Structure 1
Amino acid sequence: MFKKPAILLFAAAISLAFATERTEAASTTIDQGLLDKGVIKVDYTPSNQAKAIVRISKDNATFDYALSQGAQYPLQLGNGSYTVLIAEAVSGSKYKVVSQDQIDLQMADETEVFKQSNPIIQWDETTKAVVKAKQLTKSAKTDKEKVKAVYGFVTKTFTYDEAKAKTVAPGYIPNLDKVYKASKGICYDFASTFAAMTRSVGIPTKLVIGKEKNHPDILHAWNEVYLQDQWVVVDTTYDAARVQAGQTPAIFKDAANYKGTKVY
């Protein structure tokens, strides 16, 4: 069902080589005012409109994001010490580090970061999928009912886009309003849309990239939602095809069949 190159292009887009040159940028500010929500903001203006990235590292994990004014960058690996680098493009995939900071994260609730907008799951209260989520969950009494309402909507109305899987560009990030209007996309689109919808109604939700047991050679994207003090797997991409074929798959999957390599 999935075209391997599509998701690999996304993975490759965040694999960047760094130049040894390093300069300090006095104009760089990391706003830590939202650390209780597990996110930071970065105030930096690249020279000559150069591309720039935010690299966030903790332990052996690294995440790269395109620098965007006003964006929130997640510290999604739990409490502890993070390194935040701001790097500016020099040539090709070479970047120079212009700023580096250490941030100590100590959140009372480590799931709070998975309720926020970030560069991979970009949403606000006007996002069409978010507006729909509020409508769908208006009468829901529990978090589980909210998840089921969003899951039902996505799996009944969204279809997998084979053409997009073959042509998606490197560095692709879903525009959720465009995905919602088209009602179709690749697994990354499904997972990002589902995450924005459930996060917007207060459900901690992860977007996970990795492998699913039945398709071990293909990178895939799915979600995990936090219900009753545990993370449970939801896979709207595979289930959409099943639901639209008249089947009734279990909403919550066996976590043993999924192995994530990146979590957002």
Structure 2
Amino acid sequence: MFYKYHKVLFFLLFFNLLWVLFPLTACSSGKSSSGTTKENSSSSKTVRPNKPDLHIPKASGTSVIGQEPLLIDISHLDQGYVMAYYSGTSEKANIQLIGPDEIEYKYFIKPEDGYVTLPITSGNGTYTVKTYENISGTQYASLYTENIEVTLENDYVPYLYPNQYVNFSKESKIVSKASDIVKNATSDLDAVSSIYHYVINNITYDTKKAETVQNGYLPDVDKTLETQKGICFDYAALMTSMLRSQGIPTKLQIGYAGKVYHAWISVYLEETGWIDDIIQFDGKHWERMDPTFASANANSKKILNYIGDGDNYVTRYTR
């Protein structure tokens, strides 16, 4: 969890538009090729729909692996998730998902959790599912191991659904708040900008929490919204949840940029595909690339050199 590495003051959150690399005249002259003046007022643009566009996971029961006390519903593998249910008497169970990229994702669930949504984020292919039951302390007993075959509907669908780390529902306060935040947005890129600015301008970094947070911490996005404070993990989960609730596929990615523990958020847009690292955390600050700049330059890693050499980016986890 990257929150352990962020025990520094988080008060100066800033936004780098990179206009020094992208001249103002490139998009703000107000002149068409014929010399006539374009209408620049926001009233001339069509506002995008801001009604929540929710993808709700379901445990349909049409395909299930395992046995009591730990069942895993795999009815919707094409949507990029499984749903796990633990009904045992132990404190918790552990599920490990290992995909084609061989990254091991560990999830812990408790009897009181009910069905828990676990994302499939390693693309198409064979996944190994290993399950364990807690005996005491850090000791676990193996329950079973199964292989499953995954063929996704598309490469962005897993990043529309809530899951254990990006957890929201139609009743969540963040859903209605996101709808209000983006009510004047004219595009999905504009919505990303609006949500980013809301979060960094209204959420305060909780230094005390960062110093005392325990292993296994999971963000509560509504609590972050209510208290208006949180650690980096809370910032990331809140932004990702809000964007997904607006039907914008969003990856929350955690890893390294060189030797620095790092987090970044990527979004998928119909007209451009994935825009990588559109929101990033560098260990001290959250920053957002200029979406106009990103769109105009086809998300080029060479042009977007302010986020570092792409060859140095190593993703450990995608949520």
Gaps of 5+ in 2: 8-65, 295-303
| Structure with greater proportional helix content | 1
Q: Classify 1:110/1:191 alpha carbon distance in 2 versus 1 (closer, same or farther; 3 Å).
A: same
Gaps of 5+ in 1: 7-23
In 2, Cα distance between the equivalents of 1:32 and 1:89?
23
Q: Classify 1:33/1:203 alpha carbon distance in 2 versus 1 (closer, same or farther; 3 Å).
A: same
2:264 paired residue number:
222
1:33 paired residue number:
75
2:181 partner letter: L
Deviation at 1:86, TM superposition (A): 2.1
In 1, Cα distance between the equivalents of 2:107 and 2:161?
16
Q: Does 1:51 align with 2:70?
A: no
Q: Does 1:263 align with 2:304?
A: no
Deviation at 1:240, TM superposition (A): 9.9
- Superposed CA RMSD in Å reads 2.8
1:55 partner letter: Q
1:127 partner letter: S
Deviation at 1:236, TM superposition (A): 6.1
Deviation at 1:31, TM superposition (A): 1.5
Contact 2:262 2:281 (C-alpha < 8 Å) held by counterparts: no
1:101 partner letter: E
Matches within 5 A, 1:90-169: 90-169=135-214
Q: Classify 1:58/1:240 alpha carbon distance in 2 versus 1 (closer, same or farther; 3 Å).
A: closer
2:318 partner letter: V
Deviation at 1:50, TM superposition (A): 3.2
2:106 paired residue number:
64
Task: Normalising by structure 2, report the TM-score.
Answer: 0.67
In 2, Cα distance between the equivalents of 1:146 and 1:140?
5
Deviation at 1:96, TM superposition (A): 1.6
Q: Classify 1:249/1:113 alpha carbon distance in 2 versus 1 (closer, same or farther; 3 Å).
A: closer
Q: How many percent of aligned residue pairs carry the same amino acid? A: 29
CA offsets per residue over residues 115-153 of structure 1, 9 Å max, x none?
111111111122222221112223434221221111121
2:72 partner letter: I
1:230 partner letter: W
In 2, Cα distance between the equivalents of 1:233 and 1:249?
8
CA offsets per residue over residues 14-54 of structure 1, 9 Å max, x none?
xxxxxxxxxx74554321222231111123312x2331022
Match of 2:277 among 215, 222, 233: 233
Q: Which moved more, 1:224-233 or 1:194-203?
A: 224-233
Deviation at 1:70, TM superposition (A): 1.6
Q: Classify 1:180/1:25 alpha carbon distance in 2 versus 1 (closer, same or farther; 3 Å).
A: same
1:260 partner letter: T
1:175 paired residue number:
220
